[in-house]
Amino acid sequence: NFLLTQPHSVSASPGETVTISCSGSSGSFVSNYVQWYQQRPGSAPTTIIWANNHRPSGVPDRFSGSIDSSSNSASLTISGLRTEDEADYYCQSYDNSDPWVFGGGTKLTVL
C-alpha cells in the first residue's frame, strides 16, 4: 500500500521557521496534488494548503506548501511561529487504491 511518511514531531520557538516534510513510499506521488490539514487539540481538521501551495482565505501567508519532485516529497513551512500554531499537521494525497491517503501526522510544539 502507498504510504505518506511525516516526522512524528517537530518543535521550534516563537518567531522561528519550521518545515514539516511528507515523503511518498513509491512512484511519483507529487504528480498528484498534496494538501495539508491542521488539527488543533480537541478540534476537527482544517485545510491550510490545497493543491500543493494554495491557501484558503483566512489562512495567513506564514503558511506555505511546496513540492520537490527530485525527492518525491512535499513540505509545509510555517514562518514567524506563534503559540497558536501548536497543532498536529497532516499531509494528504491520492493513490489508485485509496482515493485519499494521509500521512501519519506531525505534532508541532511551539516552545
Partner 1 sequence: EVQLVESGGAVIQPGGSLRLSCAASGFTFRNYMMHWVRQVPGKGLEWVSLITWDGSTTHYADSVRGRFTISRDNNKNSLYLQMNGLRPEDTAFYYCAKDMGNYRGSDYWGQGTLVTVSS
Under the rule (CB under 8 A), what is the footprint of partner 1?
A: 32-33, 35, 37, 43-47, 50-51, 56, 90, 92, 94, 98-105
Nearest to partner 1 of 14, 27 (CB atom): 27
Q: Are 30 and 74 in contact (CB under 8 A)?
A: yes
Q: Are 4 and 25 in contact (CB under 8 A)?
A: yes
Nearest distance in Å: CB 22, partner 1: 13
Nearest to partner 1 of 26, 43 (CB atom): 43
Nearest to partner 1 of 62, 107 (CB atom): 107
Nearest by Cα to 95 from 15, 34, 39: 34
Nearest distance in Å: CB 57, partner 1: 10
Nearest distance in Å: CB 13, partner 1: 26
Nearest to partner 1 of 12, 94 (CB atom): 94
Which residues lie below 8 Å from residue 19, measured CB to CB, with a gap of 6+? 75, 76, 77, 78
Nearest distance in Å: CB 100, partner 1: 4
Q: Are 89 and 20 in contact (CB under 8 A)?
A: yes
